[in-house]
Amino acid sequence: MSLITDAIFVQALRSNSALMQQLADGDVYNTTIALPDEELDNAELPYIIVSFDGFTNEGSTKDNALEGDTDRVTVSIEVAAETRPQLGQIMQDVRSTIVNFFEEHFGEEGYELIPDDYQLRGSAVNYDSLKPCYYQVLTYDCDTNP
């Protein structure tokens, strides 16, 4: 189901114990679980936030009442860290963890949420002077069955 595609990304990231040990809280935040803003504002560095950012269905238009067979789901992964080298290492680990997890489990029973295909975009590295921290966002556009 496309509306919970972000859950497979959380599961993939949590499967890497070495990655989890790098994070201050030893876990991944997910925006589908309500967290007060002040809790995220005060989260210890480094941290990862996974969010479901909506979907589109190309078959759904005013002239065509039928939906297409595939949803294009957007999932974002924000990584924040104290230094750029730390951010770079975690980002590399996040990307390789997702690739390896998806390759290992694609088509297996219980892993139906793994997208059929995806495209990856990354933001520039940004700096938040209020926290202070460096952060970057990976955006996965995933093709899934609705």
Amino acid at site 73:
V
Neighbours of 72 (CB within 10 A): 19
Q: Which residues, other chains included, contact 135 with Cβ-Cβ below 8 Å and sequence gap of 6+?
A: 78, 79, 80, 81, 87, 125, 126, 127, 128
CA distance 49 to 44: 12
Distance, CA of 34 to CA of 130 (rounded, Å): 23
Residue 94: the pLDDT is 98
What pLDDT, on the 0 to 100 scale, is given for residue 97? Answer: 97
In degrees, rounded to 5, the angle at the alpha carbon of residue 95 between the alpha carbons of residues 92 and 98 is 145
Give the ranges where 84-124 is alpha helix by DSSP (H). Answer: 84-105
- The whole-number pLDDT of residue 16 equals 97
The residue whose two tokens read 């309500």 is 34
Q: Looking at residue 31, what is its pLDDT?
A: 79
What is the predicted pLDDT for the residue at 57?
80
Low-confidence ranges of the chain (pLDDT < 50): none
What does the pLDDT read at residue 4? 81
Helices and strands, counts by H and E, the chain: 4, 6
Q: What is the pLDDT of residues 95-119, one digit of tens each?
A: 999 999 999 999 888 888 889 899 9
pLDDT at position 80 is 95
Domains and CATH numbers, the chain: 2-58+68-144 (3.30.2000)
pLDDT of residue 62: 58
